[in-house]
């Protein structure tokens, strides 16, 4: 299990508000932790970088650079309109199932600070029979911030203000943590924890961890495409979440067998470098780190799809953490999986030398 100080850092990350394009608070928390042991930078699109394993003096062109990437943004909502009664109407930031939003409390980044709202919907008592059978659409929902007029609401909230579901971080039995921001604040957490371990026991490579921006809306590569290109990395290891399949109504024949507490999930497939996959698997087996394998015949729908094509191409691997109830206010992961993922990344980085070649043979 991660040490108590590491879990406290994780909680700070999960509590910060940071939907895609508005990651500032979460990114600041990540950089503050990184600055305790690494050299830190930030770029124009909101990526945060932490460097370790660098040699003093002039840059060594023969020293390999490894990229560790986890996106720090979360899904959310954005205000699109405020009506005459002071109700706010919203659009999604990222992919939502509107059913999970009904009746939720929201936290918006308002004009002069946080603004709390509740997601409203017509009560079931007032619905016609056919309406009761229909799933809610986001356009059927509104946000009530307690205002009585548009003028009052606009003193606190503006069109374009982002928000997230207001849910506290919970620690469940059996070393599990629950949060709205698991996807993928835990990826940013894992890569920094891996970098911390590598810094304490470095290998031959220079390693950079990136808390990348805008992945949840990244149809054109989000923040990681320019971020990865800037590092000149020869290998990239992306950390994200994948679907846990140890709860009811999930078909393992379609999605694999990935339980909470069973360790990180290594993706093998079309986007993934076979050299990097084999390196990850050998490292996990040699260190006795529990893990499972996931097949991806097409794109992975993670930052790995864009790391692979950054600059002149980067040999890419994907390490995922099993996550229950993805894109809901109560995503759930195992702390032991986070710990094992960080350890696997640190050990894999140490296995890379100046002689490592990533071209398939």
Q: To 10 degrees, what angle do helices 182-200 and 335-351 make?
A: 50
215 labelled catalytic = yes
215, 216, 331, 343: the catalytic one is 215
What is the Cα–Cα distance from 311 to 1, expressed in whole angstroms?
37
Judge contact between 333 and 323, C-beta under 8 A: yes
The tally of CA atoms less than 13 A away on the side-chain side of residue 86 is 14
Q: Mind spelling out the 3-state secondary structure of the chain? A: CCCHHHHHHHHHHHHCCCECCCCHHHHHHHHHHHCCCCEEEECCCCCEEEEECCCCCCCCCCCCEEEEEEECCECEEEEEEECCCCCEEEEEECCCCHHHHCCCEEEEEECCEEEEEEEECCCHHHCCHHHHCCCCCHHHCEEECCCCCHHHHHCCCCCCCEEEECCCCEEECCCEEEECCHHHHHHHHHHHHHHHHHHHCCCCCEEEEEEECCHHHCCCCCCHHHHHHHHCCCEEEEEEEEECCCCCCCCHHHHCCCCCCCCCEEEEECCCCHHHHHHHHHHHHHHCCCCEEEEECCCCCCCHHHHCCCCCCCEEEEEEEEEECCCCCCEEEEHHHHHHHHHHHHHHHHHCCCCCCCCCC
Query: Among candidates 53, 58, 70, which has minimal Cα distance to 353?
Result: 53
Catalogue the active-site residues.
215
């Amino acid at each position: 299990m991660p040490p108590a100080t590491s879990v406290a850092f994780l909680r700070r990350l999960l509590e910060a508000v940071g939907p895609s394009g508005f990651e500032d608070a979460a990114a600041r928390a990540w950089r503050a932790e990184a600055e305790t042991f690494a050299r830190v930078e930030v770029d124009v699109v909101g990526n945060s970088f932490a460097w370790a394993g660098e040699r003093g003096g002039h840059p060594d062109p023969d020293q390999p650079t490894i990229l560790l990437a986890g996106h720090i943004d979360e899904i959310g909502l954005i205000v699109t309109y405020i009506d005459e009664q002071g109700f706010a109407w919203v659009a999604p930031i990222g992919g939502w199932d509107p059913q999970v939003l009904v009746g939720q409390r929201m936290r918006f980044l308002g004009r002069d600070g946080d603004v709390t709202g509740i997601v409203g919907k017509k009560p079931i008592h007032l619905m016609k029979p056919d309406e009761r059978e229909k799933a809610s659409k986001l356009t059927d929902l509104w946000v009530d911030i307690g205002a009585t007029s548009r003028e009052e609401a606009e003193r606190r909230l503006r069109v374009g203000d982002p928000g997230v579901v207001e849910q506290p971080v919970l620690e469940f039995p059996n070393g599990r943590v629950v949060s709205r921001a698991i996807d993928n604040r835990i990826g940013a957490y894992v890569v920094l924890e891996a970098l911390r371990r590598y810094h304490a026991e470095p290998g031959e490579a220079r390693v950079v961890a990136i808390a990348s921006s805008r992945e949840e809306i990244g149809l054109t590569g989000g923040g990681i495409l320019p971020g990865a290109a800037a590092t000149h990395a020869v290998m990239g290891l992306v950390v994200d979440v994948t679907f846990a399949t140890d709860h009811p109504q999930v078909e393992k024949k379609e999605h694999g067998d990935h339980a909470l507490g069973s360790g990180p999930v290594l993706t093998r497939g079309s986007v993934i470098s076979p050299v990097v996959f084999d390196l990850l698997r050998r490292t996990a087996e040699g260190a006795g780190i529990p893990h499972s394998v996931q097949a991806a015949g097409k794109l992975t729908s993670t930052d790995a799809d864009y790391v692979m094509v950054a600059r002149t191409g980067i040999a890419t691997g994907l390490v995922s953490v099993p996550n229950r109830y993805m894109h809901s206010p109560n995503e759930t992961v195992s702390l032991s999986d986070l710990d094992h993922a960080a350890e696997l990344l640190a050990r894999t980085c140490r296995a890379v030398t100046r002689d490592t070649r990533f071209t398939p043979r």
